[in-house]
Amino acid sequence: MENAYTAPAIHLKTNRGWLKFVLLTIITCGIYAIVFYSKISTDINLIASRYDGKKTMHYCLLTFVIAPITLGIGGIVWCHRISARIGNELARRGLAYNFGAGTFWGWNVLGSLLFGVGPFIYLHKLCKAMNLLCGDYNARG
């Protein structure tokens, strides 16, 4: 019998973009960034938890509780872990896109030294990776 996939009941968003993120974050004075990353943490938990047994901390908990207590170090650890988790899920699903913790450290951290353009490249890669994962999830569950 052929391995048939059924589409999930929940349809995940596949139109994330870095320009939209930047503009809406400016217009909303940073509120959209919290919504954006909260949705990413929720989506990766929905997509990957049954396969890897992990659960990514919700971004609001990180932003309002953990990051202030850890003086921002919690945010760096969270970004490293979610980037690695997204990269692992891309590989598990056989999606040919290079993304992971190295992308976070290379583009977001070291890339910030390149006239500040690195974090925008990281954001673009993050949006593309999540769009690919969500599209695959919508098609195959």
Residue 113, pLDDT score: 87
Determine the pLDDT at residue 6: 65
The string of pLDDT tens digits covering residues 41-74 is 999 999 999 999 999 999 999 999 999 999 999 9
pLDDT at 4: 54
* pLDDT tens for the chain, residues 1 to 141: 445 556 677 889 999 999 999 999 999 999 999 999 999 999 999 999 999 999 999 999 999 999 999 999 999 999 999 999 999 999 999 999 999 999 999 999 898 887 789 999 999 999 999 999 999 999 988
Q: How far, in Å, CA of 36 to CA of 130, rounded? A: 11
- Which pLDDT does position 1 carry in this prediction? 43
Number of H helices, E strands in the chain: 7, 0
- Give me the residue spans of the domains in the chain: 18-140
Residue 117's nearest CA partner among 17, 14, 18 is 18
Closest CA relative to residue 98, chosen from 66, 72, 65, 122: 122
How far is the C-alpha of 130 from the C-alpha of 114, rounded, in Å?
25
> What distance in Å separates the CA atoms of residue 38 and residue 90, rounded to the nearest whole number?
20
